Amino acid sequence: MIQSSQSISSSSQNNPDRQEAKTIRVALPANPYDIRLIAAGLDAIGSHLSVAQLGSKLGKKIAVVSNPEIFNLYGDRVLASLEQAGFETLSYCFEPGETHKTFASVQGLFDALLAARFERSSTLLALGGGIVGDMTGFAAATWLRGLNFVQVPTSLLAMVDASVGGKTGVNHPQGKNLIGAFYQPKLVMIDPDVLATLPEREFRAGMAEVIKYGVIWDADLFAQLEAADRLDTIEAIDPTFLLDILGRSTQAKADVVIQDEKEGGLRAILNYGHTIGHALESLTGYRAINHGEAVAIGMVAVARIMVHMGLWDGATEARQLAVIQKAGLPTTLPEGVPVREIVDRLKTDKKVQDGRVRFIVSKAIGSAFVTDSVTDDLVTTALETLTA
Ligand code: GLY
């Protein structure tokens, strides 16, 4: 096993106890990179892309790829920092939303890169949530067979999950993320300050993924979440605690990705709660509930299944439920989605192998494994207890 390393440095002038920066190394053999968590990191991104800081030389041209809303909030700061560091910048915005996560949208970016004469040494910087990151990464992976790629995630979900690990892609009309590539960034720069402008519902959605890491990988993280007074709004979360849960979550993701970059085995555990979650998202047309909410319900459902399988006791299930409720996330099935249809939809999951639906389950908080031995009857019984 290759280890990732974590270093912590404190740089606050006003409060010496406040940790404002952490670096987590994603020590992949061929494509190692840092996740840097830095308050006000947006204003320092240019210097973090220097040879000295990055360890490799980027070409002069860099495109900041975003969506209009995020770009209006943060684009100027990122461009200023890059220009100050001597980069020639281009900015490009995708239309926002899952419906625009298409090959056609990426084609628009390709046209702009062609017009601006981007070269292989040039860089695409994704400034946004998971959709912007996935599409920009896909463009970086494929244009001229590979440009440099930098992730600057602006949603909690993208910070703790989508921006780390190199999954990039776009949707096909028949399904989410069916077209894509594994393509690792050169750097992930996380500025926790940008979460101040994230809508609360999206913050809670990201918290579902944080809870996931606690359950599948990091029992101490789970204990911290249990001990917190509130998890449902960024305003109630102390900056030091926020940096800690961001650090622990990204460390968990890095640990898993280092051991299984291309999802040959272990990486599948990152899909805890996602098997049923994906079915719920697709049955509600990706509108009624968001990804994190669907994962939250999926985690509640799989906990029921685990109790039936004798993997968890009722007390462990209750602990998970309490944390999910504290994060203000839903714990019952959305209205109008029949249990039978959810069970049928599971069969179309990307992770189905040899016709068997695979679930991520756990024997104890802090660990997880994949199983294909969950029967339809068991899923049905569990889901029937989750109706509001
Ligand atoms: N979001 C799951 C993964 O990156 O594998």
- The answer to whether residue 2 sits within a structural domain is no
- Tell me: do 262 and 307 sit in the same domain: yes
Domain that holds residue 68: 11-197
The DSSP bridge pattern shows strands 123-128 and 61-66 to be parallel
Distance 348 CA to ligand 1 centre (A): 18
The answer, yes or no, to whether residue 9 has pLDDT greater than 70, is no
Q: Which residue from 241, 144, 148 is spatially nearest to 195, judged by alpha carbons?
A: 241
Plot region of 9 (φ>0 → left; ψ -120 to 50 → alpha; else → beta): beta
**Percentage with pLDDT > 90 across the chain:** 88
Name which of 114-118, 166-170, 348-352 the model is least confident about.
348-352
- Asked if 209 is an active-site residue, the reply is yes
| Residue where one domain finishes, among candidates 169, 197, 225 | 197
Rounded Cα distance between 221 and 226, Å, is 9
- The answer to whether residue 4 sits within a structural domain is no
Of 20, 202, 209, 293, the catalytic one is: 209
- Tell me: do 240 and 161 sit in the same domain: no
- Asked if 267 is an active-site residue, the reply is yes
| Residue where one domain finishes, among candidates 197, 230, 258 | 197
Rounded Cα distance between 373 and 356, Å, is 8
Q: Is 291 in the pocket of ligand 1 (CB under 6 A)?
A: no
- Tell me: do 186 and 204 sit in the same domain: no
| Residue where one domain finishes, among candidates 197, 221, 248 | 197
Rounded Cα distance between 106 and 372, Å, is 36
How many structural domains does the chain have?
2
Q: From the CA of 263, give the closest atom in ligand 1.
A: 5
Give the pLDDT mean for 192-220: 98
CA angle 85, 148, 174 (to 5 degrees): 135
The answer, yes or no, to whether residue 5 has pLDDT greater than 70, is no
- Tell me: do 128 and 157 sit in the same domain: yes
- Tell me: do 171 and 272 sit in the same domain: no
- Asked if 48 is an active-site residue, the reply is no
pLDDT, residue 356, reads 85
The answer, yes or no, to whether residue 295 has pLDDT greater than 50, is yes
Give the tokens for residue 127.
Answer: 């400034």
Greatest alpha-carbon span in the chain: 61
Predicted confidence (pLDDT) per residue in 15-60, tens digit: 444 457 899 999 999 999 999 999 999 999 999 999 999 999 999 9
Predicted confidence (pLDDT) per residue in 139-196, tens digit: 999 999 999 999 999 999 999 999 999 999 999 887 888 899 999 999 999 999 999 9
DSSP label at residue 356: B
Mean pLDDT over each residue of the chain, to the nearest integer:
93
- Asked if 291 is an active-site residue, the reply is yes
pLDDT, residue 19, reads 52
From 270, 349, 360, the mutation candidate for ligand 1 (largest count of ligand atoms within 8 A of CB) is: 270
- Which residue is closest in CA terms to ligand 1's atom 2? 270
Could you tell me if 337 and 288 are in contact, meaning their C-beta atoms sit under 8 angstroms apart?
Answer: no
pLDDT, residue 355, reads 79
- Asked if 274 is an active-site residue, the reply is yes
The answer, yes or no, to whether residue 210 has pLDDT greater than 50, is yes
Question: Taken in order 356, 358, 361, 367, is the CA torsion positive or negative?
Answer: positive
Q: Is 212 in the pocket of ligand 1 (CB under 6 A)?
A: no
- Tell me: do 230 and 187 sit in the same domain: no
- Please indicate whether residue 154 or residue 287 has the higher confidence score (pLDDT): 154
- Tell me: do 67 and 189 sit in the same domain: yes
- Across the chain, the runs of DSSP E, i.e. the strands, are 6-9, 21-26, 33-38, 61-66, 88-93, 123-128, 148-153, 167-172, 175-182, 187-190, 359-361, 369-371
Residue 75 CB-half CA count within 13 A = 15
Q: Which residue from 165, 56, 185, 171 is spatially nearest to 121, judged by alpha carbons?
A: 56
- Tell me: do 167 and 218 sit in the same domain: no
Predicted confidence (pLDDT) per residue in 64-93, tens digit: 999 999 999 999 999 999 999 999 999 999
Predicted confidence (pLDDT) per residue in 270-281, tens digit: 999 999 999 999
CA distances from 78 to 9, 326, 371 (A): 23, 34, 44
